[in-house]
Structure 1
Amino acid sequence: MSVATAAVRRAGAPARVPLVLAVLLVLAAVAYPLTDGTVRDAVSWTIVLLGSAVSVTAAAARHGGRTGAAVLAVVVVAAVAFEAVGLGTGYPYGEYTYSDALGPTLLGVPFLVPLAWLMMAWPSHVLAGLLTRRVRPGRRPAARVVVAALVFAGWDVVLDPQLVQAGYWTWTRPRPGLPGIDTVPLTNLAGWLLAGLVLMALLEVVVARTARADAPGTDAAPLLVIAWMVAGGALAHALWLDLPGSAAWGAVLSLVVLAVLALQARRR
Structure 2
Amino acid sequence: MVVLGFAFSVAHAWATRGPRTAAWLVAVTAGGGYAVEALGVATGFPFGAYAYSGALGPKLAGVPLVIPLAWTWMAWPAWLAALRVARRTVSRVALGAVGLAAWDLFLDPQMVAEGYWTWSDPHPALPGVPDVPIGNYLGWLAVALLMMIALQAVAPSKARDGPSHTLYLWTYASSVLAHAAFLGLPASAGWGAAGMGVLAIPLAVSLWRR
- Determine if the TM-score, normalized by the shorter chain, exceeds 0.5: yes
Taking a change above 3 Å as real, the CA distance of residues 101 and 61 of structure 1, as seen in their structure-2 partners, is: same
User: Which structure: greater helix fraction?
Assistant: 1
> Where do residues 148-227 of structure 1 align in structure 2 (5 Å cutoff)?
148-207=96-155, 218-227=160-169
Q: CA deviation at 1:206?
A: 3.4
Any conservation in 1 of the 2:29–2:72 contact (CA below 8 Å)?
Answer: yes
**Matching residue within 222, 238, 260 for 2:180:** 238
Distance in 2 of aligned mates of 1:258 and 1:207: 19
Q: CA deviation at 1:109?
A: 1.5
Any conservation in 2 of the 1:52–1:119 contact (CA below 8 Å)?
Answer: yes
**Structure 1 residues 211-239: Cα deviation after superposition (integer angstroms, max 9, x where no partner):** 9x8xxx72122222221222211111111
**Structure 1 residues 38-89: Cα deviation after superposition (integer angstroms, max 9, x where no partner):** xxxxxxxxx1001001110111122122211221122121011111111111
User: Could you say what secondary structure the match of 1:102 adopts?
Assistant: coil
Distance in 2 of aligned mates of 1:157 and 1:219: 25
> Where do residues 28-67 of structure 1 align in structure 2 (5 Å cutoff)?
47-67=1-21
- 2:114 matched to 1:114? no
Figure out how many residues of one structure are paired with residues of the other and give that number.
210
Query: How high is the sequence identity, in percent, across the aligned residues?
Result: 45
Taking a change above 3 Å as real, the CA distance of residues 207 and 258 of structure 1, as seen in their structure-2 partners, is: closer
RMSD: 2.3
Distance in 2 of aligned mates of 1:59 and 1:230: 21
- 2:53 matched to 1:99? yes
**Matching residue within 34, 40, 47 for 1:86:** 40
Code of the residue aligned with 1:62 in structure 2: it is T
Give the TM-score normalised by the residue count of structure 2: 0.90
Q: CA deviation at 1:198?
A: 0.9
User: Could you say what secondary structure the match of 2:14 adopts?
Assistant: helix
Code of the residue aligned with 2:154 in structure 1: it is V
Structure with higher Rg: it is 1
Code of the residue aligned with 1:245 in structure 2: it is A
> Where do residues 248-259 of structure 1 align in structure 2 (5 Å cutoff)?
248-253=190-195, 255-257=197-199, 259=201
**Structure 1 stretches of 5 or more lacking a match?**
1-46, 134-139
Any conservation in 1 of the 2:99–2:200 contact (CA below 8 Å)?
Answer: no
> Where do residues 72-83 of structure 1 align in structure 2 (5 Å cutoff)?
72-83=26-37
User: Which structure: greater strand fraction?
Assistant: 2
User: Could you say what secondary structure the match of 1:184 adopts?
Assistant: strand
Q: CA deviation at 1:166?
A: 1.4
Taking a change above 3 Å as real, the CA distance of residues 262 and 240 of structure 1, as seen in their structure-2 partners, is: closer
Distance in 2 of aligned mates of 1:87 and 1:257: 29
Give the TM-score normalised by the residue count of structure 1: 0.72
Distance in 1 of aligned mates of 2:69 and 2:200: 27
Distance in 2 of aligned mates of 1:191 and 1:254: 16
Taking a change above 3 Å as real, the CA distance of residues 73 and 259 of structure 1, as seen in their structure-2 partners, is: closer
Taking a change above 3 Å as real, the CA distance of residues 231 and 238 of structure 1, as seen in their structure-2 partners, is: same
Code of the residue aligned with 1:228 in structure 2: it is W
Code of the residue aligned with 1:232 in structure 2: it is S
User: Could you say what secondary structure the match of 1:175 adopts?
Assistant: coil
Report the counterpart of residue 69 of structure 1 in structure 2. Answer: 23
Code of the residue aligned with 1:224 in structure 2: it is T
